[in-house]
């Protein structure tokens, strides 16, 4: 099953495999699961050095919801960026089970459209098309229902001077996972709004605006690594597909 890893790691005498069985459940962009673990050295795995990161919280505002909507529109209207999502869309149980990554769509209507060739995954959806309206409507719904926003940032210049930019990014990711787990413990849900933090040319005005609204500094001073909506949701969410532990190990 594509979601079998969520049942926990299999019984093993190797503590590394046990730990990796939980580690693969970490959230990641487009559910790409971009990891490999080298176990060829006995009793060893790769370690990453940690450094400080910063976190903040704020209630929602119309300005931030507007930023989410408009940055999503930019992503959808930029062919090379929207196609990153389109190409990673998995439709129906067969594709979901085969790839176990990407964006899973299993709704009957989408499956029916795909079956008759009306769900095009070879070209970007045109503005005004049914596909574009559906995708934009989803982002608008996300923006309008946000109960609050939370973000994580790192000190750009200081980390660059100390040659720890990459480790700061990894540490921010660790902090995000801990934050997400705590939110879940408290009955809250967190959902990344990852459009405005992207660093491609067409997004630049919204990237700059995001930093003004959150850390109140330019990205050259502090970089927003994660930006999420947070709140309560009555609907139960399904687990995303995952590849098994053996699929990512180098032994």
Q: With a cut of 80, say whether residue 139 has pLDDT above it.
A: yes
Is 185 contained in some domain? yes
Is 222 contained in some domain? yes
Query: What is the extent of the structural domain holding 179?
Result: 48-79+127-251
Continuous segment of H or E residues that includes residue 56: strand 54-58
Is 249 contained in some domain? yes
Is 149 contained in some domain? yes
Tokens of 180: 């997400």
Is 223 contained in some domain? yes
Is 137 contained in some domain? yes
Average pLDDT over residues 108-134: 89
Q: What CATH number is given to the structural domain containing 177? A: 3.40.109.10
**What's residue 48's pLDDT?**
39
**What's residue 101's pLDDT?**
95
Gyration radius (Cα) of the chain, Å: 19
Q: With a cut of 90, say whether residue 165 has pLDDT above it.
A: yes
Q: What is the pLDDT of residues 152-163, one digit of tens each?
A: 999 999 999 999
Q: pLDDT tier at 236 (50, 70, 90 boundaries)?
A: low
Tokens of 209: 């605006």
Percent of the chain's residues with pLDDT above 70: 93
Is 134 contained in some domain? yes
> Can you tell me the distance from the alpha carbon of 55 to that of 159, in angstroms, rounded to the nearest whole number?
16
Q: Mean pLDDT for the chain?
A: 89
Range with the lowest mean pLDDT among 189-193, 219-223, 237-241? Answer: 237-241
Cα–Cα nearest to 196, from 233, 142, 238: 142
Is 159 contained in some domain? yes
**What's residue 40's pLDDT?**
87
Number of domains in the chain: 1
Is the entire prediction scored with pTM above 0.85? no
> Can you tell me the distance from the alpha carbon of 179 to that of 185, in angstroms, rounded to the nearest whole number?
10
Continuous segment of H or E residues that includes residue 85: helix 79-87
**What's residue 53's pLDDT?**
39
231 within 8 A of 147, measured Cβ to Cβ: yes
């Amino acid at each position: 099953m594509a979601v079998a890893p969520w049942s926990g790691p299999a019984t093993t005498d190797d503590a590394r495999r046990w730990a990796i069985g939980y580690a693969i459940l970490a959230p990641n962009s487009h559910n790409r699961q971009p990891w490999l673990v080298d176990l060829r050295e006995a009793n060893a795995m790769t370690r990453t050095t940690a450094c400080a990161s910063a976190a903040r919280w704020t209630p929602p505002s119309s300005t931030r919801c507007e930023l989410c909507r408009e940055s999503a529109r930019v992503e959808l209207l930029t062919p090379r960026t929207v196609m990153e999502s389109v190409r990673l869309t998995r439709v129906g149980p067969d594709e979901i089970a085969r790839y176990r990554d990407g964006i899973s769509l299993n709704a009957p209507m989408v499956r029916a459209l795909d079956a008759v060739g009306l769900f095009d995954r070879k070209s970007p959806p045109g503005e005004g098309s049914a596909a574009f309206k559906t995708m934009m409507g989803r982002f608008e719904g996300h923006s309008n229902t946000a109960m609050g926003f939370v973000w994580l940032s790192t000190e750009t210049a200081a980390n660059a001077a100390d040659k720890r930019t990459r480790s700061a990014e990894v540490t921010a990711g660790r902090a995000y996972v801990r934050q997400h787990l705590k939110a879940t413990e408290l009955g809250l849900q967190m959902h990344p709004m990852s459009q405005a933090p992207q660093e491609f040319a067409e997004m630049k005005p919204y990237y700059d605006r995001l930093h003004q609204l959150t850390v109140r500094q330019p990205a050259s001073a502090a970089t927003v690594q994660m930006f999420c909506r947070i709140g309560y949701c009555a609907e139960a969410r399904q687990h995303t597909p995952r590849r098994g532990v053996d699929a990512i190990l180098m032994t």
